[in-house]
Chain A
Amino acid sequence: MNDFSYTQAATAKEATGILKDQPTAAYIAGGTTLLDMMKANLLEPPQLVDINSLPFKGIEQTKDGLRIGAMERMSAVGEHPLLVQQFPAVSQSLLLAASPQLRNMASIGGNILQRTRCGYFRDAAFPCNKRVPGSGCPAIAGDNHNLAILGVSESCIANSYPGDLSVALAAFDAVLTLENQKGKQRRVPITEFYLLPGKTPQKETVLEPGELIVAVTIPTATHAQRSTYLKVRERSSYAYALASAAVGLDVQGGTIRSARVALGGVGAQPWRSREAEKVLTGQPATEATFRAAATAALREAQPRSENGYKVELAQNTLVRALQQVAGA
């Protein structure tokens, strides 16, 4: 690990100001991704700016929905009664992630910005287009067992975001509030926050240099209240999803009035499936409908040598999640 300096910022202005002068500095909140990567020599920031004192806190009901401060911790948010009541899928996505120790450390903003677990990205000895643009992607012809099948490119097949929270947030139309170095705030739907790899897999989000995540707002909705997050993995806990599904249904008289579907573990980004939602909406809440939605969700899948199983697994995961929500 390189030598680095450490500064605690008391305000957003102070924090963003430091990054204006030192663009290669890094913000640190829980540090659960950043320190791992620094220890593996994947990131070598000369300066860390601790943003834990920033006032991006609180979980409160607003007219736009439930607003969660970016500095809140995964455990506190996951267990919060308002979230459990209004957005069960979001709560579950937090509590099924990582370990209790990590959930106590990791911030919501940091979770949204966590980096891929692709083994080639995480080991500096490998070529990797995301880490060193233009160096190549050995995963495409290599160990791609855990990697993505939707939204991938010839440059990169990583699940850029490997986690759970943003999958649920994508399903339920969450909006991020960002603040830039001029102190100006903007609102970006999470479905537009992440970028597909294309030819520039190193560019993962629309975040501008120095820009901070301030808050996440999730609009209240009937389909969000009746929701679940189903996560499939090789062991029962402390593992990333091979496939996951965040789903919500508003069913009245056996007919689906509105539906929300997002998949995790299979997309280059948290994978909102409007194709599946379209199939579900207005249809009876039956297994046949769910199966048709699952087929639609995976229609564009591009499996590689070792991750072909994810097509069926993601479909079955989605069907099971829909069945659970529909009570079928």
Chain B
Amino acid sequence: MELDIEPNFADTNPKAGVVGQPLTRVDGRAKVTGAAKYSAEYNNVPGLVHGVFKTSDVAKGRITGFDASAAQRAPGVLAILTHQNLPKLAITPDTPEGKKAIGMGVQMGFLPLTSDQIYYAAQPVALVVADTLERAQYAATLLKVQVATEVPTVSYQDPKAKLFDPTKLTVGKTENQPKRGDAQTAFASAPIQLTATYHHAITHHNPMEPGATIAHWEAPDRVTVYDTTQGITWTQKSLSAMLGLPVDQVRVVNKYLGGGFGCKGSTWPHTILTIQAAKAVGRPVKLALTRPQQFTSMGHREDQEQTLRLGATKEGKLLALLHEKTSTTSAWDNYAETNAKIVDLLYDCPHFEAQTQLARANVMTSTYMRAPGEAPGSFAIECAMDDLAYRVGLDPIQIRLLNYAEKDPSTGKPWSSKSLKECYARGAELFGWSKRNPKNGATRAGKTLVGWGMATASYPVHSGQGNARVRLYADGHAVVQAGATDLGTGTYTVITQVAADSLGITPDKIRFELGDSALPSTIVSGGSMAAGTVSSSVYLAAQDVWQKLTKVAVLDKKSPLYQAKPADVEVVKGRLQLKANPSKGEEFAALMQRASMGDVEGIATGRYGAGYESAQAALNASKTKKDDAGEHSMHSFGAHFCEVHVDPELGTVRVTRWVSVVAGGRILNPKTARSQIMGGSIFGIGAALMEGTNRDPNLARYTNASLADYHVCVNLDIPDMTVEFIDEHDPYINAMGVKGIGEISIVGTSAAVGNAIFHATGRRLRALPITPDKVLDAMRQPA
């Protein structure tokens, strides 16, 4: 029997199983008891020694020499590696050919310790290896580096900075200057014209677990790497290219990840340098970044400004949107978040145009950070829509409904599903939006001004593909495997649920293994792709098991299904039976025991997103839409509602109520999903009100690279949050109907806060984070 279509799991007993149930994390106990092993905790690797970076004080210059005499004499020191003696790599990412060979896994086009150039502050200039961590740290302080210092360029705002128009960005398929219609002309003749500029501070992912690598050369041509990566397959491929080794000779392991938010989506210099250090000393080496080093080792969200021009009719119908973005990039990469994507597609608008400018500066390269592009882009468009609502005297929800996009304006394609109206309606109901006073600055509570704001959220369903293996044992247990990673968001749990329903056994009978490149390869846990891709792969691998067992059954004279046509057989909760006569059939265990099969294995490739939408999938959903293959625009949607209390004299802003309603396709587990949405919203509230990394305006070095001085939200900053999901059935996404919810919750979040502040005070704050100094400054201006 061939499986010619991806069965739609959504149609197979959706209520019968554990998918969709709030299963408690299967890895929770391991985490709270300390049994869960993170990358830096494989301390039983035999002969493990420790590496520490010596980093540059200055942001620009050239290394003219080292005085390593004292460091070399320090107790326990095994090696002091610099650009002068680091073992050479087969390929480095600083040439176009190298970059191509290494692939998406390495985003950074420069590798420290391969040249004498210093391009950014705290760039590693040496790697000291010693028998203990403390001895390596101490020796690093004794190493003296001579540098010919140069004056750095600090940011795109530096008078020395030269702005340029990148024809193509380092990452992202989006053309730099998308254009629809004639936005300039449409804007010029629009009855309402709004122009505003939005600023964003540098923000850092700051996962609880900083980056760390343990590199173990098990043979001269075989290395195992325990690494804090969101994507072991990408990392494996990149490392094998740089090391000049076949892919199978590089094993990457990551069983638990303490958050990532995008900064662990690429392979960064510390990983490959640790591997080379291990080669140099002939022993396994561990290198764990310190918290300050985390700020300069794994990227950040870049400092940027966006100017949005919005043209509309007197009634508030959009006519034109023009978006310009200027941001800082590193000395060697062209990375910029593509903010324009969400501006282009969120509302029905006939004319659109976008431009991007970059400036090179002496900074570490920036990278993907939770909803790259959508998070800052939504701040601009969602504040602008709020401005438009006030301008034409409409409620903020009404202005959004007036401009509701019934199809994707950026491509003209129909949505695969869109439940945004339901999100608005349910969110408004939960929040009590109908009681909102339309007037600004009209509600007081004691000394504070109270404001309500809302914003739209959206995030694309990217295209993903990956493999999974399912081994079902005759005793009713199963091992399920995919080389995925769990960022801490619940991948272990939700995939266990999918496997349980697919195999008709309970979750406690399943062990789901992930985080090892020895397992079937799959996609990076980024771009909100993991749940959709891995769940589809596992579901299909289970179907492979059932096909194999069906073949055994129909050939087994003792089976009730003997000589049945495989296509007439179905599997319900682990029982193989005739579709036409379910009483005729048997449990898989009975069949396998009779056939002396200890276990049976299935393997499959799961696909997800518009890139893999098939004619069959479209047919499966609707028999009249067979020609729509690959023709859908796929996105999650949602709405955030926020109440703030603003103290106009002290400048403080506190979020006092929060409601998020999200339509993200099938929700595999409402408990872990709720945590995802809360986490992302808190991440966004942090970006709105307090997160920002400061770069000295002359020395281009961060002045607050610590968690004491870089503020993320504390418990007291966050009220009880209400999170709900709209039940959404999307037949085009994949076998599971899962859109993915890792990122949507930060989209629109800072705009919801900013819009609430505007409602409270009548002042529009367009520079993030909105700290007390900015509120005080705004309060001095007329409303």
Which residues on A are within 8 Å of B, measured CB to CB?
1-3, 40-41, 117, 119-120, 122-123, 125-126, 138, 141-143, 145, 232-239, 242, 309, 312-313, 316-317, 319-320
Q: Is B696 touching A142 in the complex (CB atoms < 8 A)?
A: yes
Residue in A1, A138, A239 whose beta carbon sits within 8 Å of that of B138 in the complex: A1
Residue total for B at the interface (Cβ-Cβ under 8 A): 45
By secondary structure, the B interface counts as loop
> Can you list the 9 inter-chain pairs with the closest CB atoms, starting with the nearest?
A119-B703, A236-B716, A125-B57, A309-B773, A316-B649, A143-B703, A237-B716, A142-B696, A237-B714
- Give 22 CB contacts A-B under 8 Å: A2-B141, A3-B134, A119-B694, A119-B709, A120-B696, A123-B703, A126-B701, A141-B697, A142-B696, A142-B698, A143-B694, A143-B703, A145-B694, A232-B651, A232-B772, A234-B690, A237-B717, A238-B714, A242-B773, A309-B777, A313-B773, A319-B649
Residue in B697, B704, B713 whose beta carbon sits within 8 Å of that of A119 in the complex: B704
CB contact list, B650-700 vs A, under 8 A: 650-652, 654, 689-690, 694-699
**Does B565 count as interface, using CB distance less than 8 angstroms?**
no
Please, how many angstroms separate the alpha-carbon atoms of A117 and B710 in the complex? Answer: 12
Q: Is A317 touching B703 in the complex (CB atoms < 8 A)?
A: no
Interface-central residue, A1, A122, A141, A143, by most chain B CB under 10 Å: A143
Q: Is B772 touching A235 in the complex (CB atoms < 8 A)?
A: no
With A119-B709, A122-B706, A237-B715 as contacts: A313 and B699 at CB distance below 8 Å: no
Interface-central residue, A1, A119, A138, A233, by most chain B CB under 10 Å: A119
Which residues on B are within 8 Å of A, measured CB to CB?
55-58, 121-122, 134, 137-138, 141, 292, 447, 649-652, 654, 689-690, 694-699, 701-706, 708-709, 711, 713-717, 769, 771-773, 776-777
**Nearest chain B CB to A72 CB, angstrom units:** 24
Provide the residues of chain A in CB contact with B57, threshold 8 Å.
Answer: 125-126
Interface-central residue, A2, A120, A123, A126, by most chain B CB under 10 Å: A123
Q: Is B650 touching A41 in the complex (CB atoms < 8 A)?
A: no
Please, how many angstroms separate the alpha-carbon atoms of A222 and B699 in the complex? Answer: 51
Provide the residues of chain A in CB contact with B716, threshold 8 Å.
Answer: 235-237
Please, how many angstroms separate the alpha-carbon atoms of A44 and B97 in the complex? Answer: 47
Please, how many angstroms separate the alpha-carbon atoms of A41 and B139 in the complex? Answer: 12
With A123-B705, A125-B57, A309-B777 as contacts: A234 and B699 at CB distance below 8 Å: no
Residue in A1, A123, A138, A313 whose beta carbon sits within 8 Å of that of B650 in the complex: A313
Provide the residues of chain B in CB contact with A317, threshold 8 Å.
Answer: 650
Provide the residues of chain B in CB contact with A313, threshold 8 Å.
Answer: 650-651, 772-773, 776
Please, how many angstroms separate the alpha-carbon atoms of A138 and B698 in the complex? Answer: 8
**Nearest chain A CB to B278 CB, angstrom units:** 24
Please, how many angstroms separate the alpha-carbon atoms of A141 and B694 in the complex? Answer: 14
Provide the residues of chain B in CB contact with A41, threshold 8 Å.
Answer: 141
Residue in A117, A123, A234, A236 whose beta carbon sits within 8 Å of that of B772 in the complex: A234
Please, how many angstroms separate the alpha-carbon atoms of A145 and B701 in the complex? Answer: 15
Please, how many angstroms separate the alpha-carbon atoms of A40 and B293 in the complex? Answer: 12
Provide the residues of chain A in CB contact with B715, threshold 8 Å.
Answer: 237
Provide the residues of chain B in CB contact with A120, threshold 8 Å.
Answer: 696, 703
Provide the residues of chain B in CB contact with A233, threshold 8 Å.
Answer: 652
Please, how many angstroms separate the alpha-carbon atoms of A238 and B690 in the complex? Answer: 13
Please, how many angstroms separate the alpha-carbon atoms of A312 and B650 in the complex? Answer: 9
Interface-central residue, B713, B772, B777, by most chain A CB under 10 Å: B772
Please, how many angstroms separate the alpha-carbon atoms of A316 and B694 in the complex? Answer: 26
Please, how many angstroms separate the alpha-carbon atoms of A145 and B690 in the complex? Answer: 13
Residue in A145, A234, A309 whose beta carbon sits within 8 Å of that of B776 in the complex: A309
Please name the residue on chain A nearest to B135 by beta carbon. Answer: A3
Please, how many angstroms separate the alpha-carbon atoms of A312 and B776 in the complex? Answer: 8
Please, how many angstroms separate the alpha-carbon atoms of A258 and B37 in the complex? Answer: 61
Residue in B690, B699, B713 whose beta carbon sits within 8 Å of that of A138 in the complex: B699
Interface-central residue, B122, B134, B649, by most chain A CB under 10 Å: B649
Please, how many angstroms separate the alpha-carbon atoms of A242 and B772 in the complex? Answer: 9
Q: Is B138 touching A316 in the complex (CB atoms < 8 A)?
A: no
Provide the residues of chain B in CB contact with A239, threshold 8 Å.
Answer: 711
Provide the residues of chain A in CB contact with B713, threshold 8 Å.
Answer: 235
Please name the residue on chain A nearest to B653 by beta carbon. Answer: A234
With A235-B711, A236-B716, A309-B777 as contacts: A125 and B122 at CB distance below 8 Å: yes
**Nearest chain A CB to B399 CB, angstrom units:** 32
Provide the residues of chain A in CB contact with B650, threshold 8 Å.
Answer: 232, 313, 316-317, 320
Provide the residues of chain A in CB contact with B58, threshold 8 Å.
Answer: 125
Q: Is B137 touching A1 in the complex (CB atoms < 8 A)?
A: yes
**Nearest chain B CB to A8 CB, angstrom units:** 21
With A2-B141, A119-B709, A317-B650 as contacts: A235 and B777 at CB distance below 8 Å: no
Please, how many angstroms separate the alpha-carbon atoms of A117 and B705 in the complex? Answer: 12
**Nearest chain B CB to A288 CB, angstrom units:** 15
Please name the residue on chain B nearest to A40 by beta carbon. Answer: B292
Please, how many angstroms separate the alpha-carbon atoms of A145 and B654 in the complex? Answer: 21
Provide the residues of chain A in CB contact with B717, threshold 8 Å.
Answer: 235-237
Interface-central residue, B134, B703, B714, B769, by most chain A CB under 10 Å: B703
Q: Is A143 touching B709 in the complex (CB atoms < 8 A)?
A: no
Please, how many angstroms separate the alpha-carbon atoms of A2 and B71 in the complex? Answer: 12
Q: Is B703 touching A142 in the complex (CB atoms < 8 A)?
A: yes
Residue in B137, B649, B701 whose beta carbon sits within 8 Å of that of A125 in the complex: B701
Please name the residue on chain A nearest to B718 by beta carbon. Answer: A236
Q: Is B771 touching A320 in the complex (CB atoms < 8 A)?
A: no
Provide the residues of chain A in CB contact with B699, threshold 8 Å.
Answer: 126, 138, 142
Please, how many angstroms separate the alpha-carbon atoms of A50 and B713 in the complex? Answer: 35
Please name the residue on chain A nearest to B696 by beta carbon. Answer: A142
Q: Is A123 touching B773 in the complex (CB atoms < 8 A)?
A: no
Please, how many angstroms separate the alpha-carbon atoms of A138 and B711 in the complex? Answer: 22
Please, how many angstroms separate the alpha-carbon atoms of A141 and B696 in the complex? Answer: 9
Please name the residue on chain B nearest to A311 by beta carbon. Answer: B776
Provide the residues of chain A in CB contact with B698, threshold 8 Å.
Answer: 138, 141-142
Given A1-B134, A123-B701, A313-B776: 9 more A-B contacts, CB < 8 Å: A1-B138, A123-B705, A126-B703, A142-B698, A143-B704, A235-B689, A235-B713, A312-B776, A317-B650
Please name the residue on chain A nearest to B447 by beta carbon. Answer: A320
Please name the residue on chain B nearest to A232 by beta carbon. Answer: B650
Q: Is B771 touching A234 in the complex (CB atoms < 8 A)?
A: yes
Provide the residues of chain B in CB contact with A320, threshold 8 Å.
Answer: 447, 649-650
Please name the residue on chain A nearest to B141 by beta carbon. Answer: A41
Q: Is A309 touching B772 in the complex (CB atoms < 8 A)?
A: yes
Provide the residues of chain B in CB contact with A119, threshold 8 Å.
Answer: 694, 702-704, 709
With A1-B138, A117-B708, A309-B773 as contacts: A236 and B714 at CB distance below 8 Å: yes
Please name the residue on chain A nearest to B713 by beta carbon. Answer: A235
Provide the residues of chain A in CB contact with B121, threshold 8 Å.
Answer: 125
Please, how many angstroms separate the alpha-carbon atoms of A95 and B695 in the complex? Answer: 32
**Nearest chain B CB to A140 CB, angstrom units:** 11
Provide the residues of chain A in CB contact with B711, threshold 8 Å.
Answer: 234-235, 239
Please name the residue on chain B nearest to A234 by beta carbon. Answer: B690
Please, how many angstroms separate the alpha-carbon atoms of A117 and B707 in the complex? Answer: 12
Please name the residue on chain B nearest to A310 by beta carbon. Answer: B773
Please name the residue on chain A nearest to B697 by beta carbon. Answer: A142
**Nearest chain A CB to B125 CB, angstrom units:** 12
Please name the residue on chain A nearest to B138 by beta carbon. Answer: A2
Q: Is B652 touching A232 in the complex (CB atoms < 8 A)?
A: yes
**Nearest chain B CB to A167 CB, angstrom units:** 17
Please name the residue on chain A nearest to B690 by beta carbon. Answer: A234
**Nearest chain A CB to B771 CB, angstrom units:** 5
Provide the residues of chain A in CB contact with B701, threshold 8 Å.
Answer: 123, 125-126
Please name the residue on chain A nearest to B57 by beta carbon. Answer: A125
Please, how many angstroms separate the alpha-carbon atoms of A239 and B141 in the complex? Answer: 30
Please, how many angstroms separate the alpha-carbon atoms of A319 and B714 in the complex? Answer: 27
**Nearest chain A CB to B76 CB, angstrom units:** 11
Please, how many angstroms separate the alpha-carbon atoms of A313 and B651 in the complex? Answer: 8
Please, how many angstroms separate the alpha-carbon atoms of A233 and B773 in the complex? Answer: 10
Q: Is A138 touching B777 in the complex (CB atoms < 8 A)?
A: no
Q: Is A145 touching B773 in the complex (CB atoms < 8 A)?
A: yes
Q: Is A3 touching B138 in the complex (CB atoms < 8 A)?
A: yes
Provide the residues of chain B in CB contact with A234, threshold 8 Å.
Answer: 689-690, 711, 769, 771-772
Q: Is A235 touching B690 in the complex (CB atoms < 8 A)?
A: yes
Provide the residues of chain B in CB contact with A126, threshold 8 Å.
Answer: 57, 696, 699, 701, 703
Residue in A141, A143, A235 whose beta carbon sits within 8 Å of that of B714 in the complex: A235
